[in-house]
Amino acid sequence: MRRLKAYVALTKPRIIELLLVTTVPTMVLAADGWPSLGLLLGTLVGGALSAGGANAFNSYLDRDIDAVMKRTSRRPLVTGEVSPRAALVFAWTLSVVSTLWFWLVVGSPLAAVLSVLAIVGYVVVYTMLLKRRTAQNIVWGGAAGCMPVLIGWAAVTQSLSWTPVLLFLIIFFWTPPHYWPLSMKFKGDYENARVPMLPVIAPTRKVAFEMIAYAIAMVATTVALAWVADMTWIYLGVAAAAGAWFLWGTVSLYRRARSGADRLKEMRLFHASITYLTLVFAAILVDPFITDVLSVR
pLDDT at 282 (0 to 100)? 96
Amino acid at 36: S
Task: Please say whether the dihedral angle defined by the alpha carbons of residues 169, 23, 148 and 250, taken in this order, is positive or negative.
Answer: positive
Q: Is the pLDDT of residue 16 over 70?
A: yes
Mean pLDDT value across residues 249-277: 91
Domains 1-160 and 161-297 share a fold: no
Q: What is the mean pLDDT of the chain?
A: 93
Q: Measuring CA to CA, how many Å separate 8 from each of 2, 66, 141, 171?
A: 10, 17, 23, 25
157-212 pLDDT, tens digit each: 999 999 999 999 999 999 999 999 999 998 988 998 899 999 999 999 999 999 99
3-state secondary structure of 194: coil
Contact 269, 227 (CB under 8 A): no
Q: Measuring CA to CA, how many Å separate 161 from each of 31, 164, 166, 277?
A: 13, 6, 9, 21
Query: How is the chain split among helix, strand and coil, in percent rounded to 5?
Result: 85, 0, 15
Q: How far apart, in whole angstroms, are the C-alpha atoms of residue 219 and residue 8?
A: 34
Contact 148, 22 (CB under 8 A): yes
pLDDT at 292 (0 to 100)? 63
Q: Is the pLDDT of residue 225 over 70?
A: yes
What is the domain partition of the chain in residue ranges? 1-160, 161-297
Nearest to 31 by CA among 164, 210, 133: 164
Q: Is the pLDDT of residue 297 over 90?
A: no
How confident is residue 73, by pLDDT bands cut at 50, 70 and 90? confident
Kindly report the CATH number that applies to the domain delimited by 1-160.
Answer: 1.10.357.140
Q: Domain 161-297, what fold?
A: Four Helix Bundle (Hemerythrin (Met), subunit A) (1.20.120)
DSSP 46-99: HHHHHHHHHHHHHHHHTHHHHHH-GGGTTSHHHHTSS-HHHHHHHHHHHHHHHH
pLDDT at 293 (0 to 100)? 60
Strand ranges (DSSP E) for 153-292?
Answer: none
* Ranges of H-type helices in 145-185: 147-157, 162-185
Q: Output 16 or 36, whichever has higher pLDDT.
A: 36
Contact 106, 114 (CB under 8 A): no
Contact 234, 283 (CB under 8 A): yes
Mean pLDDT value across residues 133-156: 93
Burial of 11 (C-beta count, 10 Å sphere; 0-12/13-18/19+): buried
Mean pLDDT value across residues 126-138: 92
pLDDT at 291 (0 to 100)? 63
Q: Is the pLDDT of residue 262 over 90?
A: no
